[in-house]
């Protein structure tokens, strides 16, 4: 772990503003800070208001950057971390929360000054030595240690820090990021990241973005990674294991880093070779690949049971099928670059990634998307496929269920056959371009589809994403 950095510029500004506030009455100070009359809330909320995950994320600030220093010992399963967050207050804050599940906080500073903190479930409640003003930028440094483990999601699956026989499979959708670093753990907030991860020599630690280098000393190797484009916390990874590493740059300049568990190497080689051509094919359909780095982490983690579209570098619990690689790659546009603001909108991720699988099959010698649609439509009316509308799963327990994936894809196919291919792909490309490295909502997508196609699509979207039950006509 590195010693804490000092940020002289920020500190000077803080001390200066603090000095001004201290000389005027409290109510007047609040008015000067733009916080409204005395008594207006100056504590950040413990969540961002997501109905499925009410405590995910926190109110009152935006994290611009995470600098994560981690050390993991796979034998004792101990994680030592130091996280330095560069934060901007969006309101006056006398107190704010971070999300952190388990682990022990050993030190916490705000702008290098010791701050008060307490724990309450997944909330780490921070009381800075003096109030932070709206728009003030500050650094929060948290040192922590412990034996991390996954969280159990409402649907019974695990996510977060999941130990494996040689390291850890690290995947944070929807709420596992808080099991390994403190932060604003909701996709509404996107940030850049630096990772410095130290593991025993012989293990490899793989995170997101560009690989900056590694250094071995005293029986340990430190890996450095940088994710410059904004990333939601759930898409961060720091997967550790014994990996075979492959690095190359594609003709279009994307830096590829693949890490493969040797036990999965033979089974994954042919599919991994297709990664550049899959990304190129998707870029033709959706517009330019959003990132400067790409790759794959192929682990052996049978206890996980899924893959995740970790940004730039999806993590697979086993050698992936080609359709899975196509799916996780599509998420780089839909989910990673264009990110949801509420988990209710999950079909914007999963419906789009699933439909990309159908399109890939159609254009690579497999069944047409129409044929796949027809097969799904033939599903009996009492089947779980029709049990809730894709755009309203109703609870966090349903966000990875078939209506989101398959019926979400069916909705896109209906959109395509209604608008025609030209308009449909124009809609997808415009969606990816207009919301690139940002966020998008279902309402924004349906409005865009109507604008680009020039058609009234109310009925179509109401039937296919807004109403439960099998639609009466395909
Ligand atoms: N979003 C992942 C994908 O589409 C799947 C996923 C993440 C998942 N977490 C999960 C599926 C938990 C089931 C349970 O590839
Ligand atoms: Zn998916």
**Neighbouring residues of 142: CB distance < 8 A, sequence distance ≥ 6:** 81, 82, 83, 84, 85, 98, 100, 105, 107, 108, 124, 182
- The pLDDT score that the predictor gives to residue 269 is 98
Q: Where, residue-wise, is CATH 2.60.40.1730 in the chain?
A: 26-243
- The pLDDT score that the predictor gives to residue 390 is 98
Note if the bond before 174 is cis, omega within 30 degrees: yes
Question: 26-243: which CATH architecture?
Answer: Sandwich (2.60)
* Residue of the CA atom closest to atom 2 of ligand 1: 308
Do residues 199 and 172 lie in contact, with contact meaning Cβ atoms separated by under 8 Å? no
Q: 344: left (phi > 0), else alpha (psi -120 to 50), else beta?
A: alpha
Q: Which ligand is nearest to the CA of 320?
A: 1
Q: Which of 155, 158, 169, 308 to mutate to test the pocket of ligand 1 (most atoms within 8 A of CB)?
A: 308
**What DSSP letter does each residue of 257-321 carry, written as one string?**
EEEE-HHHHHHHHHHHHTHHHHHHHHHHHHSS-S-SEEEEEE---TTT---B--TTS-EESSSPP
Distance 62 CA to ligand 2 centre (A): 26
**Neighbouring residues of 325: CB distance < 8 A, sequence distance ≥ 6:** 271, 272, 274, 275, 278, 296, 314
How far from each other are the two terminal CA atoms of the chain, in whole angstroms? Answer: 58
Residue 314 Cα: closest atom of ligand 1: 15
Q: Where, residue-wise, is CATH 1.10.390.10 in the chain?
A: 338-464
Q: Please choose, from the candidates 216, 201, 211, 285, the residue with its C-alpha nearest in 3D space to the C-alpha of residue 254.
A: 211
pTM of the model: 0.92
* Residue of the CA atom closest to atom 3 of ligand 1: 308
Q: Which of 154, 157, 406 to mutate to test the pocket of ligand 1 (most atoms within 8 A of CB)?
A: 157
Neighbour count for residue 380 (Cβ, 10 Å): 8
Give 253: exposed, middle or buried? Use CB within 10 Å, 0-12, 13-18, 19+: exposed
Q: Which residues line ligand 1 (CB under 6 A)?
A: 153, 155, 157, 159, 173, 306-309, 327-328, 350, 353, 400
Q: What class, spelled out in words, does domain 338-464 have in CATH?
A: mainly alpha
Dihedral sign from CA coordinates of 277, 279, 284, 285: positive
Token pair for 111: 């702008």
Distance 306 CA to ligand 2 centre (A): 9
* Residue of the CA atom closest to atom 12 of ligand 1: 157
Residue 158 Cα: closest atom of ligand 1: 12
- The pLDDT score that the predictor gives to residue 40 is 64
pLDDT profile of the chain (474 residues), mean per 10 = 32 31 39 44 96 98 99 98 98 98 98 98 97 98 98 96 98 98 98 99 98 98 98 99 98 97 98 98 98 98 98 98 98 99 98 99 98 98 98 98 98 98 98 98 98 98 98 96
Distance 145 CA to ligand 2 centre (A): 32
Distance 384 CA to ligand 1 centre (A): 18
Token pair for 467: 């109403």
Do residues 211 and 225 lie in contact, with contact meaning Cβ atoms separated by under 8 Å? yes
Residue 328 Cα: closest atom of ligand 1: 15
- The pLDDT score that the predictor gives to residue 41 is 87
Element (H, E) at 19: helix 8-22
Q: Distance (Å, rounded) from C-alpha 97 to C-alpha 63?
A: 12
* Residue of the CA atom closest to atom 1 of ligand 1: 308
Distance 307 CA to ligand 1 centre (A): 6
Q: Distance (Å, rounded) from C-alpha 225 to C-alpha 199?
A: 14
């Amino acid at each position: 772990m590195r010693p804490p950095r000092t940020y002289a510029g920020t500190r000077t500004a803080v001390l200066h503003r603090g000095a001004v506030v201290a000389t005027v009455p409290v109510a007047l100070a609040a008015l000067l800070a733009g916080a409204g009359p005395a008594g207006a809330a100056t504590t950040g909320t413990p969540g961002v208001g997501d109905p499925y995950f009410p405590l995910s994320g926190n109110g009152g600030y935006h994290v611009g950057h995470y600098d994560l220093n981690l050390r993991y010992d796979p034998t004792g399963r101990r994680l030592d971390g130091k996280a330095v967050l560069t934060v901007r207050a969006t309101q006056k804050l006398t107190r704010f929360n971070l999300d952190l599940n388990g682990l022990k906080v050993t030190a916490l500073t705000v702008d290098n000054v010791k701050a008060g903190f307490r724990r309450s479930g997944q909330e780490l409640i921070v009381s800075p030595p003096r109030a932070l003003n709206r728009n003030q930028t500050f650094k929060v440094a948290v040192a922590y240690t412990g034996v991390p483990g996954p969280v159990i999601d409402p649907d019974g699956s695990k996510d977060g820090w999941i130990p494996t026989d040689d390291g850890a499979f690290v995947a944070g959708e929807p709420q596992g990021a808080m099991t390994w670093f403190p932060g604003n753990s909701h996709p509404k907030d996107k940030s850049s990241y630096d990772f410095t991860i130290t593991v025993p020599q012989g293990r490899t630690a793989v995170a997101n973005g560009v690989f900056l280098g590694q250094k071995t000393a005293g029986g340990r190797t430190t890996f450095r990674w940088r994710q410059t484009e904004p990333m939601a916390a759930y898409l961060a990874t720091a997967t550790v294991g014994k990996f075979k590493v492959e690095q190359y740059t594609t003709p279009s300049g994307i830096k590829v880093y693949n890490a493969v568990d040797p036990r999965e190497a033979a089974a994954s080689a042919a599919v991994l070779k297709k990664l550049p051509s899959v990304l190129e094919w998707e870029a033709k359909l959706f517009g330019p690949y959003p990132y400067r780095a790409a790759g794959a982490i192929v682990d052996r983690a049978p206890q996980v049971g899924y893959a995740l579209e970790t940004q730039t570098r999806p993590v697979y619990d086993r050698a992936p099928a080609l359709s899975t690689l196509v799916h996780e790659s599509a998420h780089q546009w839909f989910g990673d670059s264009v990110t949801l603001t509420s988990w209710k909108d999950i079909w914007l991720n999963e419906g789009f990634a699933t439909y990309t699988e159908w399109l890939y099959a159609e254009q690579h010698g497999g069944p047409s998307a129409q044929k796949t649609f027809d097969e799904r439509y033939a599903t009996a009316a009492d089947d779980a496929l029709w049990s809730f509308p894709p755009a309203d799963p109703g609870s966090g327990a349903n966000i990875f269920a078939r209506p989101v994936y398959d019926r979400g894809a069916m909705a896109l196919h209906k959109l395509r056959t209604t608008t025609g291919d030209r308009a449909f792909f124009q809609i997808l490309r415009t969606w990816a371009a207009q919301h690139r490295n940002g966020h998008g909502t279902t309402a924004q997508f349906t409005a865009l589809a109507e604008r680009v196609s020039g058609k009234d699509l109310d009925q179509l979207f109401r039937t296919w994403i807004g109403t439960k039950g099998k639609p009466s006509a395909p």
